[in-house]
A and B are shown apart, each in its own frame.
Chain A
Amino acid sequence: MPDAEATSGRAARLPSERGEPAEITVDGRPVGCFAGETVATAMLAAGVPAFSHRNGEPRIPLCNMGTCFECGVTVDGVPLTRACLTTVRDGMRVETSER
């Protein structure tokens, strides 16, 4: 059985070939990731607890296929960009949103 990268509740990358290492920022904090990953993967693997808040409640991806918009974040200034459909790019600026 493969050993995952991290434990204790949060999401974990499985051992697998991945792309080149890359870095994005989430609310100004650097988050390491790999080329080919989606912003959702990078944020979940980094343990970001909320992609957005609605009425103060935290939200993270629900559908991972572009239909629910729960993963909506601001990417390089564009609000409500679906993290589950957006591939990371080195230097990408992501902000979680307050709705």
Chain B
Amino acid sequence: MSAAHDLVVVGAGPAGAAAALAAADAGLDVLVVDEQRAAGGQILRTTPPEFGGRRKLPTGYPWAGELLDRARSHPGIAWRHGATVFGILPVTADASSAGGADASAGPGSADGADASAGPASAGFDVLTSDPADPAGSGRVRARRVLIASGAYDMPVAIPGWTLPGVMMAGAVQGFLKSQRLRVADRVVLAGSHPLLLIVADQLLAAGARIEEVAIARGIPSPVELLRALPAVPGHVRLLGELAGCVLRLLRAGVRISTGTVPTEVLGDGRVQGVRLARADRGWRQTGPARTVEADALVLGYGFHPSTELARQLGCALDWDSAQGGWIVRHDAQLETTVPGVHVAGEPSGVAGAEQSRAEGELAGLTIAAALGRPVPERALAGARRRIRSASRFSGVVQRMFAPRREALLELATPATEICRCETVTRSTIDGFLDENPFAGTADAVKLACRSGMGPCQGRYCESAVAGLVAKARGTGVGEAGRFAAHIPVKPVPLQAYVALADDPAEVP
């Protein structure tokens, strides 16, 4: 195992890159780990170097190129790409003595517990796995960790959503941006998040036929628009981009329907059509459904923060639907409830690239200060100001596009697979809740029905499972709770555990 880094950052998106740069500028020795091949996170994904050509970053984020270039060339920052952080273990003073608690507790051994509670002052072991390069597997010691793991597209279980050809907006955009691949020919997009329009526009430019864009919400009311105005200064470019998308789509004759939800995906072995229906202001289906033929359905209802590492570490989370669901509790310094573990970007609440970057900067600075590096108050104030400014805009976006989760849940019929991995249907879960009146949490359903036990670790069914529990028991989703997360937060081969040994000779 190599010597300890001052800071290990998980995620090389705007948040992680900005944090690494701020921390390294302040003198810290930083390692950034990301399972993607290159820095940039979701939003700044570009084609691989093998493709040659010029790097094309999205417009609207003028700081992006400089941030990535400066971070990548900074001597204080090491990078490990293509490696997955599958867990983080707090290191306690005695952890070097193999074994810790004595499980065997034979006769005479007084106690199986270990005298080692309290804050994890000795730092963390960050566990990584890289199937392509065993040298990238193992563990790295860190004095502090920053979780900047971003967000993923919010799953919405509708009948037929497991058919090949149903893809998340982020997936489709990722294929376009970083692989120059158009996933299908004739496409229906359904959702509520502004990203949906951007993806529709990009697909159009890539030669796809956009059969329809179905937006769940109605057209913003004048009151909403007025309320949004104060947030716009500084973000004019982004709004302009969105308006441009809509204009191009309309000019190409694309049908953009508001107040419309997808009720079923049709097809035999792959997507062949999508049923769409009118919905009321609460997104509940009102009219009969009609069929639109298509090869793909693209879903874009917003984002869920990636909180698995924070959960696995035992950080407290709070339920906040508009901010993406379960978000990691943190203080003004972006430190979580586990001392030494910080969070920046989407896991602190989904708020977009601008705010992610500002949070990363603040986290990097405050971690440097906590580790005794001089950090000018001016720099801290600047980062805080940028967060405030970005959050005015993101707050409006959140309010305007907040998903109506109860209505989306009702798109799932009894036969709809809620848990894709373990193929658990809604009727199985509802049936369990009926027959087991004593069960009232998402975790209880997970244990009994296996929903959430598959390779995606529950990322794609947790919100629906919790929603069903909340509905059956008449409680809030927050009380129905969330799935616990365990090591590995993303599946790894058993042999990756063996690679955690200090040296191979240690392996029994």
Contact = CB atoms under 8 A, between A and B. Distances in A.
Interface of A: 1-4, 7-14, 16-20, 34-38, 40-41, 44-45, 49-50, 54-55, 57-70, 72, 75, 78-81, 84-87
B257 to A, nearest CB: 23
A66 B12 CA distance: 14
A65 B170 contact: yes
Contact of A65 (B42, B48, B49, B165): B42
A60 B165 contact: yes
A62 B166 contact: yes
A64 B170 contact: yes
A75 B493 CA distance: 12
A72 B166 CA distance: 16
B38 to A, nearest CB: 11
Interface residues of B, number: 55
Nearest to A2: B207
Nearest to A85: B35
A50 B167 CA distance: 14
Provide the main secondary structure of the chain A interface. Answer: loop
A64 B493 contact: no
A17 B53 contact: yes
B455 A78 contact: no
B131 interface: yes
Contacts of A50: 164
A70 B167 CA distance: 11
Contact of B152 (A44, A67, A86, A87): A67
Contact of B171 (A1, A4, A57, A62): A62
Interface of B: 35-37, 42, 47-53, 82, 84, 131-132, 152-153, 162, 164-168, 170-172, 174-176, 179-186, 205-207, 269-270, 295, 306, 420-421, 423, 454-456, 459-460, 490-491, 493
B164 A78 contact: no
Nearest to B205: A1
A79 B185 CA distance: 31
Contacts of B174: 64-65, 84
A63 B457 CA distance: 14
Contacts of B182: 4, 11-14
A38 to B, nearest CB: 6
A69 B185 contact: no
Contacts of B49: 36
Nearest to A71: B171
